[in-house]
Structure 1
Amino acid sequence: MKVGFGRRIAVIVGFVALVAAAAAGVWRYGYFQALDQLSRQGASDLALASDRLTGQLQRYRELAVLVADHPQIGTVLAGEDVRAAEALFLEIADKTAAEDIRLTDAAGHVLASARIEPTGVDIAPLVRRATQGALGWGNGQSASGARVFAYAAPVFDARSQVKGAVVVTADLAGIEWDWVGSNPAVFFTDAADRVFITNRSEIVFWQRPADGPGLVPADGSALPFDSYRIGRHEVWEMGWGPYLPQNALHLVRPLPVIGMTGEALVDVTPARRLATLQAAAVAALCLAFGALLFLATERRRTLAEANAQLEARVASRTAALSDSNAQLRREAIEREEAQAALARAQVDLAQAGKLSALGQMSAGLSHELNQPLMAIQTYADNAVAFLERDKPARASDNLKRISDMARRMGRIIKNLRAFARQENEPAVRVDLAHVLESAVELTKPRMRQLDVMLDYDPPTSPIWVSGGEVRLGQVFVNLISNAMDAMVGRETRVLRIVVQGPQVRICDTGPGIAVPDRVFDPFYSTKEVGASEGMGLGLSISYGIVQSFGGGISGKNGPQGAEFTVDLRPWVAHVEAAE
């Protein structure tokens, strides 16, 4: 017993260790994936910040170029209108938020300036580059300590010789004002590896150490910092204050257009949190699975012990269960036979209802067939007479009429034959418009006999539904016949058939339904006892047929009489596949 218990403990410890290793692997993989996503997002944010800074400085570069082409510049270089040029420079600086605008000669001497106080920026290198015909730029600090960025544009004379340079200085504090504090932390270092522009003001003028990554405050005091690499990513661990992440992904983007390097610090806490959640989910699932497996094993062991005790009891009850099983089989066979007999009875009942409807229509149909027969005989005699009189055109006209009569009789006989056929096939695709047309044609003789006016607008295109053509025809013949029976003796006899997609409504002007809730019960009828059509099975049979096709049939009292609605299931591709 102790050996078995020790083995189970060892299995549990080994499983827990395996789960821990799997969770660690998932954490590492998830962390790498999250870092890749953070890197892509951070690179996008850094590119956006870099483009924004470059675009904002671009205004001052274009300003320097535009001012260099101003007509006032030539007069100042000639030693005239200096005060007017300074007033112009001051007006332009105030309107464009430029820190200063200066005009120098080719030697770098300042000829005119928008501000009286010096900016403190060494413009000599910028002017030398401008005198060479190129655009010069650089950064520095003003006399008041403000961070500035300057552009120097060359001034050309009529012979394209450089006569001087226009230097436009921009205050970087005004540029970075609208994005201070945004995420992620972004800073731009100049050629001296000094933080010159940033959205975190606390690291302005921090310097890159000569011996490695990171930043050192301007006063030289070192703050907590460490860095390590994970794959192709560099992560900084910092203790630089509440507005900078403690663990950040370091991204770099060179900006040669302004002579700086853009850098971003993206907080990796969300990546760690996501990796931890993934590892915890995997560990929880594995532990839950292991617990369930352990419980199942213990339960199986317990059940095995109980099974040995139950086998003896099972043996003693086998004989009784065998007798019960045999009895249940006999009952199942009897029930299947009863269901089969019921199905046959339902089919026979439907066929009997169909034949009953044919009996009701027989008088009208015999008249429909007898009338064309007599007409055929008359037209045949006329054709013979016309042929004897050598009038082939009149004879041909009579023969055409005989052909039309024959086609009419054939159509009536075809509908009768289809209606009388016994259909046992499953639901197929049926054209509802054709079924209604056949039902109306079968019942039209009786409509004329009972003087019933038909209000029916046949559909102009097929309406495909799920059903059986013969059985659906029986449903509509029953409903139309019942409507005509209900209107016998009424002053107004109008039968209205409305088709709306797979829905058909049959309305009459009869007395209505006395008990609508019982109208589909077997043997329920409102007709007189002893009437040939008063068995009360037609609507019950119709209800069963429509239900077998997955549809529904309902009856209610409308504004003028009874109203029956047949809702059929539309035929679609997936229904065809299922059938």
Structure 2
Amino acid sequence: MTTKTALSEDPPASLRHRLFWALGGVLAVALLGLVVFALSVRAELDQASARGSSDLALAADRLTTGLQRYRELAVFLSDHPTVLALVFAQSPGESPKQATSDLLRGLADKTGAHSIMVVDGAEGGDGQMLAAAGEDRLPTGSRAAVRRAMDGALGVAHFVDLEGRRRYVFAAPVFTPGGPAKGAVVVNVDIGLLEWGWPTEASAIYFTDQYGVVFVSNRSELVLRGGSAGPLPITHTYNVSGHDIWRHEAGPYIPSPALHLTRPLPVVGLEAELLMDLRPVLSMAGLQAGMASALALVFAAFLFFAMERRRTLAEANARLEARVAARTEALELANRELQHEVHERHEAEARLKRAQADLVQAGKLSALGEMSAGISHELNQPLMAIRSFAENAQAFLERENPQKAADNLGRISELARRMGRIIKNLRAFARQEPETITDVELTSVIEAALEMTQAKISNAGVTLDWTPGAQIWVRGGEVRLQQVVMNLLSNAVDAMKTSSETEEEDKRIEIRLTPGDPTRLTIADTGPGISEPEKIFDPFYTTKEVGASEGMGLGLSISYGLVQSFGGRIRGENRPDQSGTGGGAVFTIELQPAQRNDAQPKPPGESLDATY
């Protein structure tokens, strides 16, 4: 009763416990997201500041270089002989003035200057126009620069003229030899034309004077508000990790909020400033924070479900252990029965291998039995010839003709070697070869098989097309390969013998060896072909008449197993009935080549391309 009460009160307490951990996990994920967002914003701000500083330095160098070109132009003209002739003339005439004007116009066109003027120091130092290109009157804002040039220094001024154009002026003094300045060369630059050639920047870059007024910018909104330049309308500024963040109301095309960077330019009397859009920075930080929060949430959910699964598995494990204990004894009994069955299967496999070996040996003995008549004929012919040559040799000796007797004895020796070779091949073929794979010379295997089937081939009137070549080594068993070749040759002879209707029919067996990887042995005949190619390697499949004494349909099945045991392949197919070749069956044996370096060409022997 107590157990039931505890179990009935446990679920609500467990549910509250799980809800508490779930709420704590959500809060931890949210806190992690905020921390990652802050760290990401700081890291992204550092990277953005580095990129912005580089962009601002490039823009500052671009402006400084562009203005320095006109500064150097003013200094260059202040020492030009044409300008000096005009300034130092006692009563300037039309000729020096025209030459100077032509010079100024040409340089203004080439450099893009708005105007170039030559003034003297008359009228209280304000300057009297001597020659000009671009405009005929000295702008009001440039007089301070001219006065400074008359004092012997390079005058610089920037201002907005009455037409709203932003001007930057360089005034270079023209000194008398060993004395004070007598005139000045004034180069007037239109900042708007200078800005026109700047490349497009993603950030807003502008240059302000000492009063904070925007004078040069790559954004027209910053310098043309209300037709005149003015300070940037900033609403809020923040400092985040040492970086200035601005909010402003300068227009929709000026980034806000933006990272604010500055760079002083004392050479041109301006300060370079940059506003970089922070929305990509905030988006990247938010994305990183979101990904971190999502990963943390997935991990928390995985942890929560893992704990729930662990609790569920613990309960299930308690129930399972009882079942496991009950099944252990049954499994042990089944294991013993399985071991007994495996032992029986191993014994059956061993018996099967012995039966297969006996079947192979029986196939060889059956083949020897089929060839017994032909072999007897092959041995009987040399014996009869030996007897005849011996009697002739005896007669020649009686007639005291030893040379003829020696020739007969040599022929007797050759016939004896031939008989010995036939008997040797028969003994090797009949023995039980161990199931090992070695390097075998394939050409000698074919010739040994031909010697044992020579009588059968000749009796059937079959033409053999085979020319021994170089030695070709493969992996296999010598006696078993002989059995495979003999089976294919015997089947080819039987097929052509049973299908022959007239003695004049072309009966031919072609043997070809193709070295390579794999090495191919092809045996083709001109018989009727294969009626069912997909069944030729099935056991007990035969096309011979029922009760025929030639065999039981095991030859090709045994050959298939032997070639497979060497790691090779054998296939049979019908040869197309082409002009001059005839139809028939083609058997191809593919064997693995042996890795030998001692294979030498076989000495030329007698060609077996003949009719036996």
- Check whether TM > 0.5: yes
Q: Determine which of 277, 293, 307 is the counterpart of 2:287.
A: 277
Q: Determine which of 235, 239, 256 is the counterpart of 1:224.
A: 235
Structure 2 counterparts to residues 146-225 of structure 1, below 5 A: 146-153=165-172, 164-179=183-198, 182-204=201-223, 223-225=234-236
Identity %: 35
1:11-51 CA deviation, whole Å, 9 max, x = no partner?
A: 22332232222222222222222222222332333233334
How far, CA to CA, are the matches of 1:492 and 1:279 in structure 2? 82
> 8 Å contact 1:522–1:540 — kept in the other structure?
no
How far, CA to CA, are the matches of 1:159 and 1:565 in structure 2? 113
How far, CA to CA, are the matches of 1:476 and 1:180 in structure 2? 84
SS class of match (2:52)? helix
> 8 Å contact 1:457–1:498 — kept in the other structure?
no
> 8 Å contact 1:524–1:537 — kept in the other structure?
no
Instruction: Give aligned pairs, total.
Output: 471
SS class of match (2:163)? coil
How far, CA to CA, are the matches of 2:478 and 2:194 in structure 1? 84
Q: Determine which of 491, 495, 499 is the counterpart of 2:512.
A: 495
* Amino acid across the alignment from 2:205: V
Offset, 1:159: 8.7
> 8 Å contact 2:49–2:259 — kept in the other structure?
yes
2:381 matched residue in structure 1: none
1:45 matched residue in structure 2: 55
* Amino acid across the alignment from 1:233: H
Offset, 1:144: 2.0
1:118 matched residue in structure 2: 138
How far, CA to CA, are the matches of 1:542 and 1:121 in structure 2? 108
Identify if the C-alpha distance between structure 1 residues 113 and 168 changes in structure 2 by more than 3 Å, giving closer, same or farther: same
> 8 Å contact 2:441–2:471 — kept in the other structure?
no
Identify if the C-alpha distance between structure 1 residues 537 and 233 changes in structure 2 by more than 3 Å, giving closer, same or farther: farther
1:273-309 CA deviation, whole Å, 9 max, x = no partner?
A: 2222222222222222222222232233334344444
1:449-471 CA deviation, whole Å, 9 max, x = no partner?
A: 8553579999xxxxxxxxx9745
Identify if the C-alpha distance between structure 1 residues 306 and 71 changes in structure 2 by more than 3 Å, giving closer, same or farther: same
Cα RMSD for the two superposed structures? 5.4
Q: Determine which of 69, 79, 90 is the counterpart of 2:105.
A: 90
Offset, 1:176: 1.6
Offset, 1:145: 2.3
> 8 Å contact 2:533–2:572 — kept in the other structure?
yes
* Amino acid across the alignment from 2:165: A
Structure 2 counterparts to residues 22-101 of structure 1, below 5 A: 22-64=32-74, 67-68=77-78, 70-77=80-87, 78=89, 79=92, 80-101=95-116
* Amino acid across the alignment from 1:252: T
Between stretches 167-176 and 79-88, larger displacement belongs to: 79-88
* Amino acid across the alignment from 2:223: V
How far, CA to CA, are the matches of 1:130 and 1:339 in structure 2? 120
* Amino acid across the alignment from 1:116: D
Offset, 1:346: 12
Q: Is there any run of 5+ residues in structure 1 with no aligned partner, and where?
A: 207-216, 364-415, 426-434, 459-467, 572-579
Q: Is there any run of 5+ residues in structure 2 with no aligned partner, and where?
A: 1-9, 376-427, 452-463, 494-505, 596-612
Q: Determine which of 427, 452, 459 is the counterpart of 2:466.
A: 452
Identify if the C-alpha distance between structure 1 residues 190 and 303 changes in structure 2 by more than 3 Å, giving closer, same or farther: same
> 8 Å contact 2:437–2:566 — kept in the other structure?
no
> 8 Å contact 1:118–1:142 — kept in the other structure?
no
How far, CA to CA, are the matches of 1:257 and 1:421 in structure 2? 101
Structure 2 counterparts to residues 11-26 of structure 1, below 5 A: 11-26=21-36
How far, CA to CA, are the matches of 2:82 and 2:469 in structure 1? 95
SS class of match (2:167)? strand
> 8 Å contact 1:520–1:540 — kept in the other structure?
no
Q: Determine which of 251, 263, 269 is the counterpart of 2:261.
A: 251
1:66-116 CA deviation, whole Å, 9 max, x = no partner?
A: 545655323322335213422442344345432111123476734222111
Offset, 1:267: 1.4
Offset, 1:64: 3.8
1:291 matched residue in structure 2: 301
Offset, 1:227: 1.9
Offset, 1:248: 1.5
How far, CA to CA, are the matches of 1:156 and 1:485 in structure 2? 124
Structure index of larger Rg: 2
Offset, 1:185: 1.3
Structure 2 counterparts to residues 370-389 of structure 1, below 5 A: none
TM-score, structure 2 as length reference = 0.59
How far, CA to CA, are the matches of 2:515 and 2:150 in structure 1? 91
TM-score, structure 1 as length reference = 0.62
1:115-172 CA deviation, whole Å, 9 max, x = no partner?
A: 114333325447746985x866443223422112233456578999976543322211
2:404 matched residue in structure 1: none
> 8 Å contact 1:196–1:205 — kept in the other structure?
no
